[in-house]
Amino acid sequence: MKRTKIGITCYPTVGGSGVIATELAKLLAERGYEIHFITSSVPFRLKRIYPNIYYHEVEMNHYAVFQYPPYDLALANKMAEVINREQIDILHVHYAMPHAICAILAKQMVEHDVKIVTTLHGTDITVLGVDSSFKNMIRFGIEQSDRVTAVSHSLVEQTKDMLQVNREMDVIYNFVDEREYRQRNEAHLKEEYGIEDDDHVIIHISNFRQVKRVPDVIHSFHQIASHTKAKLLLVGDGPEYSKVCQLVSELGLRDRVLFLGKQENVSELLSISDLKLLLSEKESFGLVLLEAMACGVPCIGTDIGGIPEVIMDEYNGFICPVGDVDTIASRAITLLTNPEKWQMFSENGLKRVRTEFQSETIVKQYEDIYNDLLVQR
Ligand code: GMT
């Protein structure tokens, strides 16, 4: 029987959307699909050779005549080339802007009947969607795709409200590979980092963009550390990093905060953590919360976007108002100083990963969409 061929375009560098696109590709490849990545570099989570995963690089030539190198056109051109040569059945793009637009252009350039699936991850809707000069183009990308999925109900509602899109969109939640994200015994790491047995370990992982409100994490930690012995692990890097370093020094927290920068084996760091903080003002899902839950770590998040679809307030963590540092700190202290409650939240999180976000179920939801489209051809 002919193998179904799926083309995938995503941002290949660090970030939740690239992680989801790559993890989905790996699981589809394990199920016998042939996967063709069409990206600017090898996706960072593709760490080894997979016999039925191929990679097609979007190459950019820098001609003096172009003031700005036309990356989007180079991508559309590469997509068309790969669709024709490999006879791609489904082109699954992550982000409407620009990937869905490029896919639509590529589809018009080829004779082969390819279907386009677009997955919305948030930033193009919640950030670019407010810029009226892009609205029409993002709406076009969404409306012209054969199927559209979004990573949370909140993102579907926001897409409808902000872009006046009136089409069916399926919610398919994010997932983690449970073989990687699980409770591990990494006690030696604590010792190596100089974390003492009675230290409560709090972790924040992000790309340090303004929307992540990392200063709120520091201010909350400042209050937490004045009530209980605690250390804060900061994982990731980005535009707000220096500002955060400065704030940590100003608050006299230098010896309590470990700046770990970009890290690959996050599940090991989660396994030595007691609490995950994600205090963003915009977040369509919050994949890092799911990663934490899968490692048995309770979470505190803000009451925006898709976060309340991942954390159930008072069940596997707490939901607090954006910027309400006092409430966040007091909830954190309650949890960290009450071992029974902590244990219950940790177990509830693990249960929730199994029931709502199990990788097998989620991958099947994408497969159902592909199959629906394939029978229409
Ligand atoms: O959060 C970011 O800035 C990165 C961005 C990305 O492209 O990876 O994350 C978005 O997609 C993730 C995967 O679906 C979601 O978990 C994040 O919530 C979403 N970020 C925002 O909505 C700000």
pLDDT tens-digit map of 326-375: 999 999 999 999 999 999 999 999 999 999 999 999 999 999 999 999 99
State whether 147 and 264 are in the same domain: no
Token pair of 23 as six digits: 């993890």
State whether 67 and 150 are in the same domain: yes
State whether 78 and 55 are in the same domain: yes
User: What percent of the chain stands above pLDDT 90?
Assistant: 86
SS3 304: coil
**Pocket lined around ligand 1, Cβ cut-off 6 Å:** 11, 15-17, 20, 121-123, 126, 151, 174, 207, 209, 211, 282-287
* Closest ligand 1 atom, residue 151 Cα: 14
pLDDT given at position 219: 98
From 118, 128, 174, 283, the mutation candidate for ligand 1 (largest count of ligand atoms within 8 A of CB) is 283
Q: How many structural domains compose the chain?
A: 2
* Closest ligand 1 atom, residue 94 Cα: 7
Given a cut of 70, whether residue 129 has pLDDT beyond it is no
* Closest ligand 1 atom, residue 127 Cα: 23
Distance between CA atoms of 147 and 168, rounded to whole angstroms? Answer: 8
> What range does the domain containing 245 cover?
187-356
Token pair of 149 as six digits: 């999925």
Is residue 316 within 8 A of residue 349, CB to CB? The reply is: yes
| pLDDT band at residue 265 using 50, 70 and 90 as cut-offs | confident
The overall average pLDDT reported for the chain is: 95
Is residue 121 within 8 A of residue 17, CB to CB? The reply is: yes
pLDDT given at position 134: 86
pLDDT given at position 266: 95
Distance between CA atoms of 351 and 343, rounded to whole angstroms? Answer: 12
Taking the centre of ligand 1 as the mean of its atom positions, its distance from the CA of residue 22, in whole angstroms, is 14
State whether 213 and 169 are in the same domain: no
Q: How many helices (H) and strands (E) does the chain have?
A: 15, 13
Is 24 part of any domain? yes
SS3 59: coil
Cβ partners under 8 Å of residue 289, min gap 6:
276, 278, 299, 301, 307, 310, 311, 317
Given a cut of 80, whether residue 171 has pLDDT beyond it is yes
DSSP designation for 152? S
Taking the centre of ligand 1 as the mean of its atom positions, its distance from the CA of residue 351, in whole angstroms, is 24
* Atom 7 of ligand 1, nearest CA residue: 17
The mean per-residue pLDDT over the stretch 291-307 comes to 98
The CATH number given to whatever domain includes residue 15 is 3.40.50.2000
Give the DSSP H/E element, type plus range, for residue 88.
none
Taking the centre of ligand 1 as the mean of its atom positions, its distance from the CA of residue 15, in whole angstroms, is 7
Backbone φ and ψ for 150, nearest 5 degrees, come out as -135, 155
Comparing C-alpha atoms, which of 301, 249, 270 is closest to residue 202? 270
Is residue 285 within 8 A of residue 291, CB to CB? The reply is: no
pLDDT given at position 271: 96
Backbone φ and ψ for 272, nearest 5 degrees, come out as -105, 10
pLDDT given at position 60: 84
* Closest ligand 1 atom, residue 11 Cα: 7
State whether 146 and 216 are in the same domain: no
State whether 10 and 157 are in the same domain: yes
Is 124 part of any domain? yes
Distance between CA atoms of 353 and 344, rounded to whole angstroms? Answer: 14
* Atom 21 of ligand 1, nearest CA residue: 283
State whether 196 and 168 are in the same domain: no
Taking the centre of ligand 1 as the mean of its atom positions, its distance from the CA of residue 363, in whole angstroms, is 19
> How many C-alpha atoms does 45 have within 13 Å on its Cβ side?
23
Taking the centre of ligand 1 as the mean of its atom positions, its distance from the CA of residue 76, in whole angstroms, is 23
* Closest ligand 1 atom, residue 209 Cα: 3
Give the DSSP H/E element, type plus range, for residue 334.
helix 325-336
State whether 136 and 209 are in the same domain: no
The mean per-residue pLDDT over the stretch 294-309 comes to 98
State whether 29 and 165 are in the same domain: yes
Cβ partners under 8 Å of residue 144, min gap 6:
100, 104, 116
Sign, CA torsion 102/104/105/110: positive
Given a cut of 80, whether residue 64 has pLDDT beyond it is no
| pLDDT band at residue 67 using 50, 70 and 90 as cut-offs | confident
SS3 337: coil
* Better-scored residue on pLDDT, 292 or 162: 292
Taking the centre of ligand 1 as the mean of its atom positions, its distance from the CA of residue 18, in whole angstroms, is 9
Token pair of 175 as six digits: 């997932």
State whether 138 and 238 are in the same domain: no
The mean per-residue pLDDT over the stretch 264-268 comes to 92
* Atom 2 of ligand 1, nearest CA residue: 15
Backbone φ and ψ for 195, nearest 5 degrees, come out as -95, 125
Integer-rounded Cα radius of gyration of the chain: 21
* Better-scored residue on pLDDT, 72 or 134: 72
The mean per-residue pLDDT over the stretch 300-305 comes to 98
pLDDT given at position 186: 85
pLDDT given at position 104: 98
SS3 35: strand
The mean per-residue pLDDT over the stretch 185-211 comes to 95
The mean per-residue pLDDT over the stretch 283-291 comes to 98
Distance between CA atoms of 117 and 16, rounded to whole angstroms? Answer: 18
State whether 343 and 371 are in the same domain: no
Given a cut of 70, whether residue 297 has pLDDT beyond it is yes
* CA angle, 311 then 214 then 352, to 5°: 15
State whether 154 and 208 are in the same domain: no
354-373: buried (b, 16+ CB within 10 Å) or exposed (e) per residue?
A: eebbebeebbeebbebbeeb
Taking the centre of ligand 1 as the mean of its atom positions, its distance from the CA of residue 308, in whole angstroms, is 15
Distance between CA atoms of 156 and 263, rounded to whole angstroms? Answer: 31
Q: Each residue of 78-128: pLDDT tens digit?
A: 999 999 999 999 999 999 999 999 999 999 999 999 999 999 998 877 766
Taking the centre of ligand 1 as the mean of its atom positions, its distance from the CA of residue 182, in whole angstroms, is 22
* Closest ligand 1 atom, residue 122 Cα: 22
Residue count (the chain): 377
DSSP designation for 148? E
| pLDDT band at residue 174 using 50, 70 and 90 as cut-offs | very high
